[in-house]
Amino acid sequence: MIQGRDVVTLDTFSPEEIRFVIERAREMKAHGHGSSLQGRSLVMVFFDPSLRTRSSFSIAFSSQGGTVVDMVASRDIWALEMREGAVMDGVADEHVRDAAAVLSEYADMIAIRALSRHDDWARERRDQVIVSFQKYASVPIFNMESVLDHPTQAWGDALTLTEEFGDLRGKKIALTWAYHPQTRPLAVPHGVGVMATKLGMDVTVCHPEGYELDHDVRETMELCAGETGGSVRWTDDRRAGLENADVVYAASWGSTLYHGRPDDERDLRRRHYDWRLTQDLMSTTNEARFLHAMPIRRNVEADDEVVDAPYSRVVVQAGNRLHIQRALFAEVLKT
Amino acid sequence: MIQGRDVVTLDTFSPEEIRFVIERAREMKAHGHGSSLQGRSLVMVFFDPSLRTRSSFSIAFSSQGGTVVDMVASRDIWALEMREGAVMDGVADEHVRDAAAVLSEYADMIAIRALSRHDDWARERRDQVIVSFQKYASVPIFNMESVLDHPTQAWGDALTLTEEFGDLRGKKIALTWAYHPQTRPLAVPHGVGVMATKLGMDVTVCHPEGYELDHDVRETMELCAGETGGSVRWTDDRRAGLENADVVYAASWGSTLYHGRPDDERDLRRRHYDWRLTQDLMSTTNEARFLHAMPIRRNVEADDEVVDAPYSRVVVQAGNRLHIQRALFAEVLKT
Amino acid sequence: MIQGRDVVTLDTFSPEEIRFVIERAREMKAHGHGSSLQGRSLVMVFFDPSLRTRSSFSIAFSSQGGTVVDMVASRDIWALEMREGAVMDGVADEHVRDAAAVLSEYADMIAIRALSRHDDWARERRDQVIVSFQKYASVPIFNMESVLDHPTQAWGDALTLTEEFGDLRGKKIALTWAYHPQTRPLAVPHGVGVMATKLGMDVTVCHPEGYELDHDVRETMELCAGETGGSVRWTDDRRAGLENADVVYAASWGSTLYHGRPDDERDLRRRHYDWRLTQDLMSTTNEARFLHAMPIRRNVEADDEVVDAPYSRVVVQAGNRLHIQRALFAEVLKT
């Protein structure tokens, strides 16, 4: 159903395709490994460091018999030229079209992590690294988190929610901003927002003013909700936003308005130090499950009492990344 | 016999268990690889760099069909919070309880290397990183060298000695301090001391004043010797210590008294530049085998003449780490 | 035919052996993976970073069922003593004889990348790191690029040319220097020069004055050409050099005269900014194929028009490294 596809954003998958992969992941989670990737290889290219994504991608691929190579290609040691026709007498050692073409000779799949360079949002949101690899590679490209999206995280979250609720249509999810001592990427809330609306959920996004999600992502969410019978609501009133929620998903993310201006962003962010998820807030929900993409700043983003509560699913949620990735790899590389 | 156990210190294993794994390693060394780890995975987390341990752990696990992921998580890039209930608004990105729980979802086993931060010995000896992982992980934890211990090194050394002598009871081992231009960890002598007394050897530890092993480790050694019919002796007279030894094990280690005060430790250490193992010293032994955990500073810790002598077992000793680890992995993960 | 051999320079292989491995690579390219390396292991030691070589070596070995461990042992973190009998009280942690002996216990094969330290050419050309590993290891050593040679690159290039032309005897190859904003190693042109003469090609090496290849390599090329019926010509006239060529191989390399004196070398190099391969130059050839070892500086070493032309084989060429390495690994480790 999704053979040969790039997995760069959830936006390119239909609700049926998303649900299909979730079902495959549930089967694989129940029945163990398998060897369908024998003789296949994955090259992971990290322009930014990763611990969790790297280990879960590696294990998901190689536990099915495949070969994994990771290249920690920080932009400092492997500067790629992105401009067509450039005279390459500067710092860039290689054109992305050559890098992508050569890696396509070695690997059956290429996975890329390329986060923000702390530049202006309008430029960053184009996700130039991964989009260029998509353009020039002849094998499927996987997104291991880009500026704009983190599809395997969101897809794994959908698996977790499906395990809890079955059909997600009509379920209420509150995606709520949390304070964090550092500026965090927008990829996770973007992915989760699109996933939830694609699956027909009623989505409430709670955040302080200035922390609006990317304009186009918001449009996509509204559009998806319209198609699937879900809904989207935006609020800066957390208490109202969480009321009767079936799921509370806490995340911290940066302001697109002050992207690339860390001092200004910090000043804004610090005014919202109280955006910490407490048991008191959780008690207004419909006995909601608690999700967070991890790593979590305990007692800053959410209290220990919430993270360790019986309704918290954060550990299962992290584990499900393994299972959804196994299913995605097997399906995309199906012959 | 040791299924599901943590391998963090030899102290938690009985002489019977230690000998059982040695026998399994000898069988595996004789009969080659096998595929008992098919579908199983190991995550190695390095808070400090490693070449030898990393390659021998990787090969031992994956040559049996398992999947290995290594995370070079220097404390600089992945600061872990260790304190219960901490308000995490500082540098630590993640609480060790979450890191351990999530990695337990991905892997069947977690191996950790976390050496000293050059802090006060009383604090360092608690081995907080690996002990925290033990506490919070739900899969077996392996120690790839901590502040206090290096059990797979010592266990491999026991394999080497068993190959040489069969039963080790009553065999004399001289563990002798050696000069080194840098302060070295105490984990190797600690592990070797406990291993030798657990297996009933007569142990003589030779070192200059100020280089006493950790107080609790010394107590453990005395206790073990009492139980196994071995003995422990401490001396600063190398010549007397080596006399009639069946094994001479050279190692350099730091002073617990000056731990975290490198200048003071260096001043003390430099007074003992002559603690170099020579052929002359070896000639007073009972044709002893020579061991060293490597890397070795030739002509500083021991002369070329000793390292390359027919009685030297340093290369076999290093190789045996592979075999003991294969046996440990297979037995701990036995289903 | 080449079981147990080191692959450090093409110079140690006969034309028959080179052709034999090319044929094996063609078979493996046509018929897929296989599992002949089950239970075997490769340790790759990188004293210098690598992306392409590292991924192609890893995939070539592990896609046949073998286990690969890479050690990024930059000389900064793992200083090796090379001198026999040295008193090791300086910065070197370990003697190369011990490192090589221990890794030989763990692995069935050791691959080394050790480039120039920007020292005097007379010293550098001895390739002390890889030659020392050859001397002290008890398993086959593979060269993943040294100061003097890059044999798997050249061997893969020979596979590409064989796919194009069949028998290479009498085919004309122009190996032409190209401008590059940085000083580049000499290993690739050396390897290609020896490969081409060993296979009986008519070789023209075009370069500005001061960019002569290593003296001994030139002698080897003349000698090989004499034995195989090939020929070697040296010129600083690119136009004449490319005339009627069947293959144009562009490469940038440093000057041995100014080796270790980067400022002087840069001054010389900059005078030859016009050494860029253009379509105009290519039009004087015998419809030549275009090769380059990558990464390539587009519009500096060669124009986009050349790199992307129908006669360009640069992507296939990079891909063939995988296939030649698979054949080399299988043949060297054949039991």
Q: Are residues C192 and C314 in the same domain?
A: yes
What SS3 state is found at A267? helix
- Across chain C, what does the average pLDDT equal? 95
For residues C81 and C179, state if they share a domain: no
Confidence of residue C141 (pLDDT cuts 50, 70, 90): very high
Burial C152-171 (b: 16+ CB within 10 A, else e): bbbbbbbbbbbbbeeebeeb
Q: Which of A32, A52, A59 sits opposite B67 (nearest CB)?
A: A59
Rg of chain C on CA atoms, in Å: 20
C291 with C326, same domain: the answer is: no
Q: Which of the four pLDDT bands, split at 50, 70 and 90, describes residue B118?
A: confident
Q: Please give, rounded to a whole number of angstroms, the shortest distance from the CA of C217 to a CA of chain A.
A: 27
- Provide the shortest C-alpha distance from residue B224 to chain C (in Å): 32
Query: Given B39, B95, B105, which is nearest A32 (Cβ)?
Result: B39
Question: Based on the domain organization, do B109 and B172 belong to the same domain?
Answer: no
Omega before B49 cis (within 30°)? no
Query: Bridge partners of A114?
Result: A146
Give the per-residue pLDDT at A76.
61
Tell me which residues of chain C have a C-beta less than 8 Å from any C-beta of chain A: 32-33, 49, 51-52, 54-56, 58-59, 62-63, 181, 294-300, 304, 307, 314-316, 318-319, 322
Residue labelled with tokens 């549930």: A26
Q: How far apart are CA C220 and CA C142, in angstroms?
A: 21
**Nearest chain C CA: its distance from A248 CA (Å):** 41
C151 confidence band (pLDDT: 50, 70, 90): very high
Report CA torsion sign: C64, C69, C71, C72.
positive
Asked whether residue B173 falls in the same domain as residue B267, the answer is yes
Q: What is the DSSP letter of A127?
A: -
The larger pLDDT score, comparing residue B77 to residue A243, is at A243
What is the tens place of the pLDDT at every residue in A266-292?
A: 999 999 999 999 999 999 999 999 999
What does the pLDDT read at residue C178? 98
Q: Report the Cα B190 to chain-centroid distance in Å.
A: 7
End-to-end CA distance of chain A: 11
In angstroms, the separation between the Cα of residue C49 and the nearest Cα of chain A is: 9
Residue B229 lies in a domain: yes
Mean pLDDT along residues A159-167: 98
Integer CA distances (angstroms), C235 to C205, C256, C291, in order? 6, 17, 19
Q: Are B148 and B116 in contact, with CB atoms under 8 Å apart? A: no
What is the nearest CA distance from A222 to chain B, expressed in angstroms? 33
Among chain C residues, the shortest Cα distance to A37 is held by C63
Contacts of C98 in chain B (CB under 8 A): 294-296, 298, 307, 314-315
Query: Scanning every residue of chain B, which has its alpha carbon at the shortest distance from the alpha carbon of A48?
Result: B77
Domain holding B237: CATH number?
3.40.50.1370
Confidence of residue C79 (pLDDT cuts 50, 70, 90): confident
Name chain B contacts of C85, Cβ cutoff 8 Å: 299, 304
* pLDDT given for residue B72 in this prediction: 79
Please tell me what DSSP assigns to residue A328: H
Inform me whether the pLDDT recorded for C38 exceeds 80.
yes
The per-residue pLDDT for range B6-52, each reduced to its tens digit, is 999 999 999 999 999 999 999 999 987 677 898 899 999 998 878 78
Taking CB atoms and an 8 Å cutoff, what residues of chain A touch B81? 298
Q: Is the pLDDT of residue A20 over 70?
A: yes
Residues of C contacting chain B (CB within 8 angstroms): 38-39, 41, 43, 67, 69, 71, 73, 77-78, 81, 85-90, 93-95, 98-99, 101-103, 105-107
B307 touches B296 (CB < 8 A): yes
State how far the Cα of B320 lies from the Cα of C106, in Å rounded to an integer. Answer: 9
**pLDDT tops 90 at residue C131:** yes
Decide if pLDDT at C77 tops 70: no
Is residue A203 domain-resident?
A: yes
The pLDDT of residue C75: 61
Nearest to A241 by CA among A193, A297, A302, A176: A176
User: Which residues of chain A have a CB within 8 Å of the CB of B98?
Assistant: 294-296, 298, 307, 314-315
Considering the domain architecture, whether residues B174 and B199 belong to the same structural domain is answered as yes
Cα angle for residues A19, A21, A27 (degrees, 5° grid): 105
Q: Do A54 and B77 touch (CB under 8 A)?
A: no
Residue C299 and residue A88: Cβ atoms within 8 Å?
yes
Q: Alpha-carbon distance C159 to C167, whole Å?
A: 11
The CB-side HSE value for A29 (13 A sphere, CA atoms) comes to 22
The verdict on B144 and B290 lying in the same domain is: no
Q: Which of C77, C89, C102 has its CB closest to that of B52?
A: C102
As a whole number, the mean pLDDT across chain B is 95
* B162, B154 contact by CB (below 8 A): no
Angstrom distance (rounded) from CA C314 to CA C323: 15
3-state secondary structure A144-198: EEECCCCHHHHHHHHHHHHHHHCCCCCCEEEEEECCCCCCCCCHHHHHHHHHHHH
- Please give the C-alpha separations between residue C281 and each of A287, C142, C238, C245, C303, in angstroms, as whole numbers: 74, 37, 8, 11, 11
Count of the separate structural domains present in chain C: 2
* pLDDT over 70 at C73, yes or no: yes
CA distance C122 to chain A (A): 28
Among B28, B35, B37, B51, pick the best mutation site for testing chain C contact (most C Cβ within 10 A). Answer: B51
Residue B98 lies in a domain: yes
Q: Does one domain contain both C38 and C144?
A: yes
Nearest neighbour of A49 by CB, restricted to B41, B77, B86: B77
Instruction: Give residue A246's pLDDT.
Output: 98
Q: Classify residue B4: in a domain, yes or no.
A: no
Are residues B213 and B130 part of one domain?
no
The answer to whether C311 and C287 are in contact (CB under 8 A) is yes
Would C250 be classed as within a structural domain? yes
Q: Which amino acid is at C241?
A: G
One domain for residues C189 and C258? yes
pLDDT reported for residue A70: 87
Largest CA distance in chain B: 61
Element (H, E) at A19: helix A15-31
Tell me which chains share at least 3 CB pairs under 8 Å with chain A. Answer: B, C
Looking at the structure, tell me whether residues A135 and A188 fall in a common domain: no
Type of residue at C197: T
The answer to whether residue B3 is domain-embedded is no
Which residue is closest to C322 within chain A, CA to CA?
A106
Task: Express each pLDDT in C237-256 by its tens digit.
Answer: 999 999 999 999 999 999 99
The CA-atom distances, in angstroms, between A184 and each of A181, A259, B162, B333 are: 9, 11, 55, 38
Give the confidence band of B77 by pLDDT, cuts at 50, 70, 90: low
For residue C233 the two structure tokens come to 């010509």
Looking at the predicted structure, is the pLDDT value of residue B75 above 70? no
Is B2 a member of any domain?
A: no
Shared domain check, B199 and B139: no
pLDDT of residue C242: 98
Centroid of chain to Cα B329 = 16
Looking at the complex, report in whole angstroms how far the Cα of residue C192 sits from the nearest Cα belonging to chain A.
20
Q: Are residues B295 and C107, on separate chains, in Cβ contact within 8 Å?
A: no
Alpha carbon of A322: minimum distance to chain B alpha carbons (Å): 7
Q: B4 to each of A89, B63, B330, how far by Cα in Å?
A: 57, 20, 11
Examine residue C1 and state whether it is found in any structural domain, yes or no: no
Residues of C in contact with B315 (CB under 8 A): 98, 101-102, 105
The reply to whether residue A297 touches residue B39, judged by beta carbons under 8 angstroms, is no
- Mean per-residue pLDDT, A314-325: 97
Model's pTM, two decimal places? 0.95
pLDDT band per the 50, 70, 90 thresholds, residue C76 = low
CA dist C301 and C295 (Å) reads 10
For range A49-60, the mean pLDDT: 89
Contacts of B319 in chain C (CB under 8 A): 102, 105-106
Which residues constitute the domain of residue B255?
Answer: 153-318
